[in-house]
Structure 1
Amino acid sequence: MPYTYIVRCADDSYYVGSTWDVDARVWQHNSPDLGAAYTRHRQPVVLAWCCWFDSIEQAFAYEKRVQGWNRRKREALIRGEFDALPDLSRRSAVQRRRAEEGGFEAQA
């Protein structure tokens, strides 16, 4: 099954990826030479979140989407606070649309 995942690194940063096998990929991230260069220098890493998708293309697309998110938004996803995600967007257009829909004040 294809997955998108987030690992928390030893320096408390996050790494977002996609894979067919989450357990094997986390193991690779913790190996001295098989994981991504980013995680090799921030070991050990632990799985913080993962979600399966119907295709690897969907998992990869979601990986790219989450990679563009700020830390607060990633942490809301990890905690399962899905309703909070739009309010944590950096894009002012999303903030304005949410304000119009729900009566929230838009952030400039």
Structure 2
Amino acid sequence: MKTYYVYILECSDKSYYTGFTSKLHTRIIEHQTGKYPDCYTYKKRPINLVFHAEFTDPNHAIDSEKQIKKWSRVKKETLINNAFEKLPNLSKKKFKD
């Protein structure tokens, strides 16, 4: 059974990059070495892998990647820190008075 990964990298400028791959180790090396000059991380190296999740269904992995990319920095950091119980509260819309 093939494994797919969603991962979050912390870049040298402290921004986060979220990606999807079936070869996590290889993809991290590609980010580190700057294999793709047009990639977001190319000018933001060095990078650090701060989170990854495994999936057996590529569609679930892609959906997860798309969802995480829309999240706020705080919500991504909550995921990175394994504080899963805090995620629902961060999903609630805040209304102005």
Alignment TM-score, normalising by the size of structure 1: 0.80
Q: Deviations over 1:38-64 (max 9, x none)?
A: 100100111000010121111111000
Relative contact order, CA 8 A, sep 6+: which one is greater?
2
* Cα distance in 1, alignment partners of residues 72 and 15 from structure 2: 11
Q: Which residue of 1 aligns with 2:39?
A: 37
2:2 aligned with 1:3: no
Residue 36 of structure 1, CA deviation: 5.7
Kindly report the root-mean-square deviation, in angstroms, between the aligned alpha carbons of the 2 structures.
1.4
Are the equivalent residues in 2 in contact too, given 1:29–1:36 (CA < 8 A)? Answer: no
How many pairs are equivalent?
93
| More strand per residue | 2
Out of 16, 31, 41, the position equivalent to 2:18 is: 16
Aligned residues with identical type, % of pairs: 33
Alignment TM-score, normalising by the size of structure 2: 0.88
Residue 23 of structure 1, CA deviation: 1.1
Out of 88, 91, 94, the position equivalent to 2:90 is: 88
Residues 35 and 81 of structure 1: is their aligned pair in 2 closer, same or farther, counting only changes over 3 Å? farther
Between Structure 1 and Structure 2, whose CA radius of gyration is higher? 1
Q: Which runs of 4+ in 1 moved over 6 A?
A: none
* Cα distance in 1, alignment partners of residues 4 and 26 from structure 2: 12
